[in-house]
Structure 1
Amino acid sequence: MNLKIISWNVRGLNGKEKWLKVRNFLRSWRADIVCLQETKLEWVTRGLVRSIWSCPFIDWLYLGSEGASGGILLLWDTRVVEKIEEAVGHFSISCRFKNVSDHFEWAFTGTYGPNLNRARQFLWEGLAGLISWWNLPWYLGGDFNVIRFPSERLGAGRFTRCMNNFSDFISLHGLMDNPLEGGLFTWSNSTSASRIDRFLFSPALVDHFSHFSQKRLPRVLSDHFPILLESGNHRRGRIPFRFENMWLKAEGFLDKGKFWWENYHFQGTPSFILAKKLTTLISDLKKWNETDFGNITVKKQQLWKEEMLEKASLRADLEKAALLEEISWRQKSKVLFLKEGDSNTRFFHRMANSNRRSNCIENLMINGALSSSQDRIADHNEQFYLNLYSKRQEQHPFPNVLDFPRISRDNMD
């Protein structure tokens, strides 16, 4: 049996237009079980369920939102699994399922984790009690709102208590956390990214399903990527060669291919020579793709990460420059009752300009006439102070009449 489960934070299911878009994506993904988080719906009706999943054989369970926050909706195809029991918590909904084909029983929990550490501890305790109560192989998936390692968040540099608590919960119950295929993060915006959505499962499920893969699907309608968990007995054969059209955009690719082709030399019939040259060309293309061209997805992720880091660096430089500008304008404004660093640049700028207006001489009486010419005012002020502080010859009264006694040279010491 093959089982496909989708987990997706949809950021709201309000509006018929979004229902139609979600319906189209669910139809293309062909999942057996779908868990949607952050529905922002207090009530879920049959009509809404029919609007977002076209499968006629459907059943569902939901956790209503608190106002416009939270909400979980779990949908499943009744031709694949049958619900035996259900449980609804504060941050999760759980179903005890039985496979229709082989009657294998297992449990699934969909969660939308809280942001507060104290509330997270309540979530871990509730899930632990459910595991102990049902005592079945278990799938756990959803938006946990927490990461396990610093590498799962862009820019994170150290472990935190909530990371350690999450890893302790996984280790305590022996859950498996498969690597994510198709990308590093499951949520991102213009400045940050993290892996807060994932699937966990019990080792006992490995005895029933020989293959597990956790994949990130393309992001649509939300800032969260949908996550697909596939479980089953997949047998992968030899992957056939496929020519990639993007190779044609690589610099010098056509010249390299022509050089290879012209330097292949074989003996035999024309059809044999053509077949051997094609086989050799395919081998060279595979080697070139691995060693020179590289994995374009990995390159894209690396460039994207470098871009995020560069943006963060530029933002830090901009904030520093803004603070220096504020310090400069504060000094010019002579305002001391406001401190630096509180985004008061605009106020300091106005005060400095006000001081400049107070220090400006708009009109001045020059030689009995009122003048507003700044050049004449500047020249007059300059000449005034030159005359004031220049050394001039002055007539002293009675220069030869008054005789003042003087200190003799002998008494100078």
Structure 2
Amino acid sequence: MHPKIISWNVQGLNECNKRLRIKALLRMWRGDVVCLQETKLRSIDRSIVRSLCGCSYVGWSYLASVGASGGVLLMWDKRVMEVLEECIGDFSVATMFKNVEDGWVWAFVGTYGPNVDRDRRRLWEELAGVYSLWDVPWCMEGDFNITRFQSECSGQYRNSVAMDEFSKFIFDLNLMDLPLVGGEYTWSNGLVWSKLDRFLVSPEWEAHFPEVCLKRLP
């Protein structure tokens, strides 16, 4: 099987009308795993999940926002995925999945990264720690809030230490930075465009899904 993964920085789930619009789109896209970043919600209960996903077979886990900043909601179809374990950190929600159809076990982590360099180092440590917990193929995705190369940010002319540390993290964990379909950049404020969102996978994960096509929603 090839699970359909949807990743989306929704920039807040506080408004009922916005949740209804997201629900309509998720129903059309029919994702097996859905990761929503920047929920801006301190708590998420079943009523909020049902307002986003009408499926009664939905499983879910979440990272609370800090004030009105951040937050991650991970949802999955329990008819497709069984969760064996989960780990919620300061910046991420990680789960170990078992495919119902073929029994294949793999791990997924959804991330919303910080904007401060010292906190970014905590993110790399957190993800490396979770990665060491489960000896299975990995898929890490989300809004990391940082680019890797100067070409990924319009108007940026030199690499920063934080960018180098991001690349080192990917190299140390032997992850593959998969290309995204649908545009060179994933974020813009109208003046600056950047690639902040990525899917990072282990070679074993990529080998299991060699024809995977990934699209990050704006």
Task: Confirm or deny a common fold (TM above 0.5).
Answer: yes
2-structure distance, mates of 1:206, 1:138? 9
List runs of 5+ in structure 1 lacking aligned partners. 218-224, 226-413
Q: Does 1:188 align with 2:191?
A: no
Q: Which amino acid aligns with 1:31?
A: G
State the Cα deviation string for residues 261-292 of structure 1 (Å, max 9, x = none): xxxxxxxxxxxxxxxxxxxxxxxxxxxxxxxx
1-structure distance, mates of 2:216, 2:184? 9
Q: Which amino acid aligns with 1:183?
A: G
2-structure distance, mates of 1:216, 1:83? 24
Q: Which amino acid aligns with 2:189?
A: N
Secondary structure (helix, strand or coil) at the match of 2:212 reads strand
Q: Which amino acid aligns with 2:165?
A: N
- 2:117 corresponds to: 117
Q: Which has the higher contact order (CA 8 A, sep 6+)?
A: 2
Secondary structure (helix, strand or coil) at the match of 1:180 reads coil
1-structure distance, mates of 2:120, 2:42? 22
1-structure distance, mates of 2:164, 2:126? 18
1-structure distance, mates of 2:213, 2:174? 18
Q: Which amino acid aligns with 1:72?
A: V
State the Cα deviation string for residues 88-125 of structure 1 (Å, max 9, x = none): 10011100110000111110001110011111111111
- 2:79 corresponds to: 79
**TM value normalised by structure 1:** 0.52
Q: Does 1:139 align with 2:139?
A: yes
1-structure distance, mates of 2:78, 2:216? 25
Q: Which amino acid aligns with 2:121?
A: Q
- 1:40 corresponds to: 40
- 2:7 corresponds to: 7
Secondary structure (helix, strand or coil) at the match of 1:181 reads coil
1-structure distance, mates of 2:165, 2:16? 40
**Alignment map for 1:282-361 (pairs within 5 Å):** none
Deviation at 1:86, TM superposition (A): 0.6
Two-structure CA RMSD over aligned residues (Å): 1.0
Q: Please say if residues 183 and 216 of structure 1, whose CA atoms lie closer than 8 Å, have aligned partners that are also in contact.
A: no
- 2:61 corresponds to: 61
State the Cα deviation string for residues 139-182 of structure 1 (Å, max 9, x = none): 10111000111111111111111110001011111111122222
Q: Which amino acid aligns with 1:181?
A: V
- 1:290 corresponds to: none
2-structure distance, mates of 1:151, 1:114? 21
2-structure distance, mates of 1:55, 1:153? 38
Secondary structure (helix, strand or coil) at the match of 1:36 reads strand
2-structure distance, mates of 1:126, 1:52? 28
2-structure distance, mates of 1:158, 1:190? 21
1-structure distance, mates of 2:22, 2:109? 21
**Quick check: which one's helix share is greater?**
1
- 1:160 corresponds to: 160
Q: Which amino acid aligns with 2:74?
A: L
**TM value normalised by structure 2:** 0.97
Q: Which amino acid aligns with 1:86?
A: E
List runs of 5+ in structure 2 lacking aligned partners. none
Q: Please say if residues 7 and 216 of structure 2, whose CA atoms lie closer than 8 Å, have aligned partners that are also in contact.
A: no
1-structure distance, mates of 2:127, 2:178? 20
Secondary structure (helix, strand or coil) at the match of 2:12 reads coil
Q: Please say if residues 6 and 216 of structure 2, whose CA atoms lie closer than 8 Å, have aligned partners that are also in contact.
A: no
1-structure distance, mates of 2:163, 2:174? 17
**Alignment size in residue pairs:** 218
**Alignment map for 1:184-223 (pairs within 5 Å):** 184-217=184-217
2-structure distance, mates of 1:67, 1:23? 24
Q: Does 1:151 align with 2:151?
A: yes
Structure showing greater Rg: 1
**Quick check: which one's strand share is greater?**
2
Give the fraction of aligned pairs with identical amino acids, expressed as a percent. 53
- 1:173 corresponds to: 173
2-structure distance, mates of 1:24, 1:177? 30
4+ residue segments displaced more than 4 Å: none
Deviation at 1:216, TM superposition (A): 4.0
2-structure distance, mates of 1:34, 1:216? 11
1-structure distance, mates of 2:189, 2:77? 33
Secondary structure (helix, strand or coil) at the match of 1:212 reads coil
